[in-house]
Amino acid sequence: MPKWLPEAAPELAERLERAPSVTLFLDYDGTLAPIAATPEQARLAAPVRRLLGALSQRHRTMVISGRSLHDLRARIRLPALLYAGNHGLEMEGPGWRFRVPGAAAVRPVLEGLLPRLQRSLDREAGVRIEDKGLTASVHYRQVAPERRDAVIRTVRETVAAFTDRIRLVPGKQVLELRPRIPWHKGKAVLWVLRRCYGSRWPEATLPLYLGDDRTDRDAFRTLGSDGVSVFVLSPEARAPEAHYVLPHQGAVEPFLRWLLERLAARHRGAGPAP
C-alpha cells in the first residue's frame, strides 16, 4: 500500500540522500496545474514555475503530459527543462528532439476521423474536441452528468471503424485518441533514462515520478522499485501501485519546495530534518 506524504517524508528523504543522483518526471494537468474546466484554463502558478526552474538548474527535470509538445513548452517556458508531449510520443531537451517512429503516420487517420467525430457530437452541449497533432482528446467535463454516458458511447461507436490504427484511452473526464503503437509514459521515461545515463541507469540515478492520472501508472509500473512514484489523489482517481501519495493537488507546491530543500541538502552534505 502507498504511504502518505508528508507523514512518510523521512523515509523518502533517506532514499533521496542515498541516491547517486535524482531525475524528476512531473505530469502537468492535475499535478503541476489544477484540473480546469477547459485545457486552456489550466495554468501553472508562478510559485510552482519558480520551483520547477530551481529544480531544473541542478537536476534533470522533465514535464511529461498528454498535451502537445508545443502547448506544453509555451505554458512553462523554462529552457533547462526536458519536455514530453502527447504522452511521450514527442520529446525534446537541450540539443535533442525525438518523435516515436510511426506516430506521425497516423495523422491522416485523425484528419479523417476528427470531422466525423465532430459531426457525431454536434448536439452534445459542453463537448470539446482537442486536436493535438499526434493525438486528440474528447473532453466532456462540461457535459451534463446525465449525458456523459451518451457522449462516451458515441465516441466509442465513431472510433470503432478506426481501431486498427487508433486506440481509445480513458482519462479524467476525457477520452484520448492515440496511435495504436506500443508506447506510453512509462516507455518514454525509460527512453529518456537510457539516453541520459545508458542501459545501467539504475546505478546512476533515482527517478522520481509525480502524477495524478491512470496514464501516469504506466510510468509507475515501468520504474517499479528502481524509482519513486508519487501519486496526487483526487475524487476521480486512486493509485494503490504508487509508493507515496499526496492528499490533493494543492499539496504539490509544498512537496516541490520540500523536495528542493532536500536535494539542496545533498549538495551541502547535511540538512534540516524533513
By the 8 A CB rule, do 119 and 130 touch?
no
Which stretches within the chain are classed as H helix? 9-18, 46-58, 69-76, 107-121, 148-159, 185-197, 214-223, 252-268
Q: Nearest-CA neighbor of 84 among 96, 67, 104?
A: 67
Question: Which of 27, 29, 212, 213 is labelled catalytic?
Answer: 27
Residue 138, H or E segment: strand 136-139
Cell numbers 531544473 label which residue?
Answer: 56
Burial annotation 225-257 (CB, 10 A radius, 16+ → b, else e)? eebbbbbbbbeebebeebbbbbeebeebeebbe
By the 8 A CB rule, do 178 and 166 touch?
yes
Q: Nearest-CA neighbor of 179 among 69, 97, 86, 114?
A: 86
Report how far residue 89's alpha carbon sits from residue 87's, in angstroms, rounded to the nearest whole number.
Answer: 6
Question: Residue 7 region, left (φ>0) first, then alpha (ψ -120 to 50), else beta?
Answer: alpha
Neighbours of 85 (CB within 10 A): 27
Active site (annotated) includes residue 212: no
Residue 240 φ/ψ, nearest 5 degrees: -65, -15
Kindly list the catalytic residues. Answer: 27
